[in-house]
Amino acid sequence: MDPFYYGLIAFVVIFIGYSYFNYRRMKHFAALPDAEEIQHLTAANFKAKTAKGVVLVDFWAGWCTPCKMMAPVLNQVARASGRVGQVAKVNVEEQQRLAEQFKVRSIPTLLLLKDGREVDRFVGVKSKDFLLKKKTAFISC
């Protein structure tokens, strides 16, 4: 057999092993409690809570590992924002109608709303610096 195939087989075995190790590690990733500054939105209070100012809304689910990875980042963003702008979360399992209304197709999806209107959308795990930069750009407008 060609040495290329031995290398390919070794790569595949290592990749599968690494993926399995990370799956086992992330499967038991504990859910982090939300910061006090983070609001939980429902269909009943969504419009009222997002009508004024800049709000960063995280659409998430309890079973979603990337969503769990975003929890500490959102806590940091909420604490860093203080009273300027808000951070809120929407559980897509409990608030399916809101997820449909905003056409959320994958999670985590973060919407940046200004005065109730969507001005930006981010899908996937993002850094604290990225989110603060985007958020402050719309606060100063």
CB atoms within 10 A of CB 70: 23
In the predicted structure, residue 137 carries a pLDDT above the cut 90: no
32-53: pLDDT as tens digits: 788 889 999 999 999 999 999 8
Q: What angle (nearest 5°) sits at the alpha carbon of residue 68, between those of residues 112 and 46?
A: 35
User: Is the CB of residue 96 less than 8 Å from the CB of residue 42?
Assistant: no
* Order of strands, sheet of 86-91, starting from the edge strand that comes earlier in the sequence: 38-40, 86-91, 54-60, 109-114, 117-123
Which pLDDT belongs to residue 24? 66
First to last CA, the chain: 64
Catalytic residue chosen out of the listed positions 64, 80, 123, 132: 64
Which pLDDT belongs to residue 1? 67
Catalytic residue chosen out of the listed positions 56, 57, 67, 107: 67
Residue 67 is among the residues annotated as catalytic for this protein: yes
Residue 141 is among the residues annotated as catalytic for this protein: no
Contacts of 84 (CB under 8 A, 6+ apart): 139
Distance in angstroms (rounded) separating the CA atoms of residues 37 and 42: 16
Instruction: List, in sequence order, every residue forming a beta bridge with 54; answer none if it has no partner.
Output: 114
In the predicted structure, residue 25 carries a pLDDT above the cut 80: no
pTM of the predicted model as reported, rounded to 2 decimal places: 0.76
Which pLDDT belongs to residue 6? 84
59-98: pLDDT as tens digits: 999 888 889 889 999 999 998 876 667 999 999 999 999 9
